Amino acid sequence: EAWARYSFVVEETPYTRLCGTKNILTVNGTFPGPTLYVRRGDTVVVDVYNKGTRNITIHWHGVKQSRNPWSDGPEYITQCPIQPGAKFSQNIIFSTEEGTLWWHAHSEWDRATVHGAIIIYPKNGTDHYPFPKPHAEFPIILGEWWKQDIDKVYNDAIQSGGDPVASDALTINGQPGDFYPCSSKSADTFKLKVDFGKTYLLRLVNNALQISLYFAIANHTLAVVGSDASYLKPFVTDYISISPGQTIDVLFTANQNPNHLYYMAAGVSSDATPLVVENNTTTTAIIHYNNQNHTSRSTTPLIPKLPSYDDTISSVNFTSRFRSLVDKNHPIDVPKHIRKRMFFTVSMNTLPCPNDTSCQGPNGSRLATSVNNISFVTPTPIDLLEAYYYQIKGAFGVKFPSFPPLKFNFTAEDQPSYLETPKRGIELKVLKYNASVQIVFQGTSIVDPSEHPMHLHGFSFYVVGIGSGNFDKHKDRLKFNLVDPPLQNTIAVPLNGWIAIRFKADNPGVWFMHCHFDRHMSWGMDMAFIVKNGKTPNTQMLPPPPDMPPC
Ligand code: C2O
Ligand code: CU
């Protein structure tokens, strides 16, 4: 049942940040874009009008879209892009998601400015949170800002074959904050007003393109209550770590000296690539308490302490604390008898530069990435879902391997160079309807160790294990959490570590899976699943809508 219908007009709008004005792609002229408010189980229709000059698609990140991959959004995976002047009506089908998700462009790197929060209330309203009802709630979207146009950043990176240029600022709700040259305290800083003694719900989204982030509020502790639209057993922390794609819901109580101002701040987490080190900066927003006597108020906000950018331990430690809430209103259903066991290496790689030129990757190569040594190639000018549905031959293969082609010491420091070159291809993995699936993602140290926030479309999955070093299938699986593992749609494979996930393939369609660092996604750290139809009509894909965008 449709609870609401939204109009998304994608258009260029001038915005000024860091003393420079440029046209950015926006939805309805706003940056970040509009928040969708829904209730658990709703279906929402969004009419997307492309009034810009570029091809675009919109993805509803974390919405399972039961039986309806047609509205999922990734370009050339489930649809051809919406061309300038065209319109596409997308049906957003919510099922068991509850909490915070978000939507974003899924065409090139347009999500830098085309994104917004999705707030999913309990079916019976906000009195039915599994925690005391907050006084107020706010989406807090973390991101990155480039002075250059984002399509130039994208094109330069793809053409040079090297790392993309680092962003010029991190942002909170689109604003850099007080610590950047030329950011003016009034225009470039997000402000939050609170009442003393009240508790607030912050719905955090990480929309940064290339980096994971730490977040904290000066003098205030945070109670984590949910992530990726699923509730967690609450736990208290001084900082959170959040990967691109992830959402985290936190409560904080305004119980500190009301005459102070407090910064909330975000900075780079757990990576060591040159790109990130260059962007070792901090974005801030200001919290101030209402109705205070202005004469005694301090004007310099207190600054929270964030873990350092190269502190990978604090990041894994934080994520390891996630436990599903599990109560009678929020039961879980972890697959116990696994039918399909897979082991995916996620690696950095290099490929030769096209036409004998020299690229900016190591030794003149161009940077690439892979899953099980296959570097994904975008199947333009056709999309995989329509190729599958209409049985168009030659668009893709179905030979995605369940295990890496080679066994080696994944996390050893000096890897032999023959591991560097992956195979390029478009291989899908076919899953039977309702198969119980387990995937272990193993990070490798080929070329350059990195963490990888892996995101699966069409599903949430239980994260049953997380660890450092090489996954040991005898020892590590004995420690899997099958009691209260968190239910996520995005989870970071730690630098030189592994994660294990489980889900039931109960959603027929074609579903993309990729690293949510956009450079890794564009270099090939992607694959897709075909989940076959079941036998009964309500276990089968819905028919395509009449207005699928043509290629
Ligand atoms: Cu948030 Cu495939 O994306
Ligand atoms: Cu990655």
Q: What tokens does 117 get?
A: 């929060």
With respect to residue 496, please indicate whether it lies within any of the assigned structural domains: yes
With respect to residue 445, please indicate whether it lies within any of the assigned structural domains: yes
245 lines ligand 1 (CB under 6 A): yes
pLDDT of residue 188: 82
> Nearest Cα to 32, choosing from 81, 104, 101, 98?
104
Residue 516 CB-half CA count within 13 A:
29
* Whole-angstrom distance, CA of residue 16 vs CA of residue 32: 13
- Residue 102, H or E segment: strand 99-105
DSSP secondary structure string for all residues of 411-434? T-SS--GGGS-PEEE-BEEEE-TT
512 lines ligand 1 (CB under 6 A): yes
The CATH code of the domain that includes 390 is: 2.60.40.420
Domain count, the chain: 1
With respect to residue 169, please indicate whether it lies within any of the assigned structural domains: no
Please identify, by atom number, the ligand 1 atom nearest to the C-alpha of residue 73. 2
190-194 and 282-289 strand pairing:
parallel
> Nearest Cα to 404, choosing from 354, 345, 361?
345
Alpha-carbon torsion (170, 172, 174, 179), positive or negative = negative
* Whole-angstrom distance, CA of residue 376 vs CA of residue 77: 12
Please identify, by atom number, the ligand 1 atom nearest to the C-alpha of residue 457. 2
With respect to residue 4, please indicate whether it lies within any of the assigned structural domains: no
Residues (pLDDT < 70) of the chain are: 1-3, 183-187, 270-279, 292-294
Please identify, by atom number, the ligand 1 atom nearest to the C-alpha of residue 62. 1
* Cβ atoms of residues 368 and 349 within 8 Å: yes
331, 418, 469 from 349: Cα distances, Å: 41, 10, 19
Domain that holds residue 431: 340-539
The predicted-structure confidence for 94-152, as pLDDT tens digits, reads as follows 999 999 999 999 999 999 999 999 999 999 888 899 999 999 999 999 999 999 999 99
Number of neighbouring beta carbons within 10 Å of residue 469: 15
Question: Which stretches of 444-517 are assigned E, i.e. beta strand?
Answer: 452-456, 461-468, 487-488, 490-493, 497-504, 509-515
pLDDT of residue 6: 96
Q: Which residue has the tokens 């912050």?
A: 202
With respect to residue 216, please indicate whether it lies within any of the assigned structural domains: no
pLDDT of residue 310: 84
pLDDT of residue 298: 81
With respect to residue 533, please indicate whether it lies within any of the assigned structural domains: yes
With respect to residue 493, please indicate whether it lies within any of the assigned structural domains: yes
Who contacts 70 (Cβ-Cβ below 8 Å, separation ≥6)? 78, 79, 91, 385, 542, 544, 545, 548
The predicted-structure confidence for 403-427, as pLDDT tens digits, reads as follows 999 999 999 988 999 999 999 999 9
* Cβ atoms of residues 17 and 175 within 8 Å: yes
520 lines ligand 1 (CB under 6 A): no
Question: Which stretches of 356-456 are assigned E, i.e. beta strand?
Answer: 366-371, 374-376, 423-425, 428-431, 436-443, 452-456
Q: What type of residue is 163?
A: D
* Whole-angstrom distance, CA of residue 516 vs CA of residue 447: 19
59 lines ligand 1 (CB under 6 A): yes
457 lines ligand 1 (CB under 6 A): yes
With respect to residue 494, please indicate whether it lies within any of the assigned structural domains: yes
115 lines ligand 1 (CB under 6 A): no
State in Å: Cα 165 to ligand 2 middle: 17
Q: Which residues pair with 455 in a beta bridge?
A: 490, 514
74 lines ligand 1 (CB under 6 A): yes
Minimal-distance CA residue to ligand 1 atom 3: 61
- Residue 229, H or E segment: none
State in Å: Cα 414 to ligand 1 middle: 32
pLDDT of residue 1: 45
* Whole-angstrom distance, CA of residue 355 vs CA of residue 337: 50
> Nearest Cα to 453, choosing from 406, 492, 502?
492
